Every structure is written in C-alpha cells, then in structure tokens.
Amino acid sequence: MSTQRECYEWAVATFGTVATLSHERGLRLIEESLELVQAVGLSREDIIKVLDRTYSREVGLIPQEIGQVELTLRCLAHQCGFNVEHECDLEFERVTAIPPEHWEKRHENKVDAGTAEPIGVLSEMTPNEPKRDQTMQDDTK
C-alpha cells in the first residue's frame, strides 16, 4: 500500500520543489477532482454553481477540509463500486512506472496553459509547513 509520505516523496522527486507548494498541490487536486466529477456526469454548470457557493462563504480550516475531501471521496467511491485504497495503489504503481520525462512534458504543458507553477521555481510562494501543532500526524495508513 502506498503511503501519504511515499506519494509526496514521488511528487517531489519527479517535479522538484514546486511539488512542495500548497498552491501547486491545490491546483493538482482541483484538476483531478474535476476530472472525477466530469467522469460521473457533472456538467460545467453544476461545477460553477458549487464554485460560486463555495467562494461566497468563509475560508475553511485545512485539516477539516482534508477530512471532508477524504470522507466525500470514500462515499463516492463506495457508491460507484470502487475501493479508494485499491484504486490509489493501482494509480501509484502506474504513475511511478512512467519515465520522469513524460511528467516534465505534461507539467510544461500545464505551465504554458497557466494552470501550474514552473518546475524548480518557487516564485513568491514558499513551501508550506505542517499546520496541526506544527507536526505531521503519523501516516501509517
């Protein structure tokens, strides 16, 4: 089973310091989330309604929002007949078998489209430190 730490270390090894930015991680999360909801049939209009409602409210707390994302993903996976851990492990095996050059090219295309930070450039942002009591929780899952 791939751990949270293994996934993060792969991302940093593949994309460099840009993978340590919460902004970049957030862009990748929204991209994958949009691809998932598109696959289950949500329309662009559905997404825009949720986007507008979300940004009309107060900003949430990162640990709570992470928990809500995971809970919602598990419910969706179950409803669709999939197991989150199994699918994550399969995807981790798949992406780690692909040469780094492939990911560099894909990332360059995202940078060109304005949907990613350049590899190796931290720009004005800095890597985020752990937020909960300034320590990471054990990731034995």
Task: Give per-residue pLDDT as tens, 61-72.
Answer: 999 999 999 999
Q: Evaluate if residue 11 carries a pLDDT over 80.
A: yes
Q: How far is CA 2 from CA 67, 93, 119, in A?
A: 19, 9, 24
Average pLDDT over residues 24-36: 96
Nearest Cα residue to 87 out of 76, 98, 103: 76
Question: What is the reported pLDDT for 129?
Answer: 47
Average pLDDT over residues 12-33: 92
Which pLDDT tens digit goes with each residue over 109-141?
A: 998 998 888 876 554 444 454 455 434 555 544
Domain ranges, ordered by start, for the chain: 4-112
Helix axes 4-15, 84-96, angle to 10 degrees: 30
Which pLDDT tens digit goes with each residue over 72-119?
A: 999 999 999 999 999 999 999 999 999 988 988 998 999 899 888 887
Token digits of residue 93: 């095996």
Distance CA 137, CA 51 (A): 30
Nearest Cα residue to 69 out of 44, 32, 20, 39: 32
Mean pLDDT of the residues in the chain: 87
